Amino acid sequence: MLSASANRIVTKIFTPVENTTALDPLISGLQKAVRAIVPPGEVRDVLHGVPAGHPVHPVLVQIPLGTWTSAALLDLMPGTENASRRLIGVGVLAAAPAALTGATDWSELHEQQMRTGVVHWAANLVAVSLYAASYVQRRRGRDASGKVLSYLGLAVASAGGFIGGHLAYHQAAGVNHAEEVPHVIPTGWNAIGSLDDFPQGRVTRSAVGDVPILVFRDGERLSALSDRCSHLSGPLSDGDLVTDADGSACIECPWHGSTFALADGSVRRGPATAPQPTLQVRQAGGRVEVRMPNAG
């Protein structure tokens, strides 16, 4: 009963936010600003977390949240004013890279996610401002007001974290949208057609059971990978074929520009951080068959 009531409360809070088009002009301006500050390239991919294989924003937020929580505990003890002030200062400084990675990820989400994200962003901005003010007050020797400001900041940061949790776990921002593919593809070799069904030098959409896959033919060689982009499930087979710097054939997602090598599904450009699941391909008896690697 408690769980049902909590779910209803969360729905009432977040559903209006997700559907509030009044936020869209603000979002559009912020998105353009973020993309201008961090244009496509290696730096942007690092901020997305492409080298790490997952978003780095959740990792970086641990620093400000950890220092601020530690400061809150120290503020309950006498003689810890200097330590608390320093922790708060470190947290304020660490909030900058955490915010930059979060903004970079946010700028490549869909509308409902971005609306929730901008509220998450606003809450965190208020929290950082309160902590910055707390640090200034403490430097002036006004520890009492500094403590009040920091506890207010912790409350707002916690609310911001709750919103971020909804964004990540309910709205699935930043998660790998292709992770389940190896677990739902039928086991064994699965026929998907004949060689003539896959035109030379083109991407073709096929399916194994209910799972859409992308097939690319290069001469007699066929490559197959999940058709749903790991970033936000965009249809890769509707994207453009591009060539990477090393000459590798790649597919670019039509939604947000994530680029994957057709040979092995590796990420060549974000915002996606997780590779596309690839399938083994063989020709048998005039048929083209696919299976997940190591499948029976």
| CATH at residue 198 | 2.102.10.10
Residues 117 and 191 in one domain: no
Nearest partner of 119 among 63, 172, 159, 72, judged by Cα: 159
With beta carbons less than 8 A apart as the criterion, state whether 192 and 208 touch. Answer: yes
Tokens of 56: 């780095």
- In a domain? residue 9: yes
Residues 81 and 223 in one domain: no
Tokens of 171: 């709205």
- In a domain? residue 108: yes
In sequence order, which residues have a C-beta less than 8 Å from that of residue 163 and are 6 or more positions away? Answer: 116, 119, 120, 123
Where among 136, 152, 171 does a domain terminate? Answer: 171
Residues 27 and 102 in one domain: yes
With beta carbons less than 8 A apart as the criterion, state whether 98 and 57 touch. Answer: yes
Where among 127, 146, 171 does a domain terminate? Answer: 171
- In a domain? residue 276: yes
Q: How much is the average pLDDT of 268-296?
A: 90
The type of residue at 142 is: R
Residues 152 and 213 in one domain: no
CA distance 86 to 90: 6
Residues 28 and 159 in one domain: yes
Residues 185 and 155 in one domain: no
Residues 198 and 151 in one domain: no
The type of residue at 143 is: D
In sequence order, which residues have a C-beta less than 8 Å from that of residue 191 and are 6 or more positions away? Answer: 287, 288, 289
* 152-190 tens-digit pLDDT: 999 999 999 999 999 999 999 999 999 999 999 989 999
Residues 114 and 199 in one domain: no
pLDDT at residue 222 above 80?
Answer: yes
* 4-45 tens-digit pLDDT: 665 676 777 888 989 999 999 999 999 999 999 999 999 999
Q: How much is the average pLDDT of 279-295?
A: 88
Residues 129 and 10 in one domain: yes
Q: List the domain range (segments joined by +) for residue 166.
A: 1-171
Residues 105 and 7 in one domain: yes
Residues 236 and 199 in one domain: yes
Where among 113, 147, 171 does a domain terminate? Answer: 171
- In a domain? residue 296: no
- In a domain? residue 282: yes
Q: What is the pLDDT of residue 286?
A: 82
- In a domain? residue 204: yes
Place of tokens 């002036």: 140
- In a domain? residue 253: yes
Domain count, the chain: 2
Residues 83 and 222 in one domain: no
- In a domain? residue 243: yes
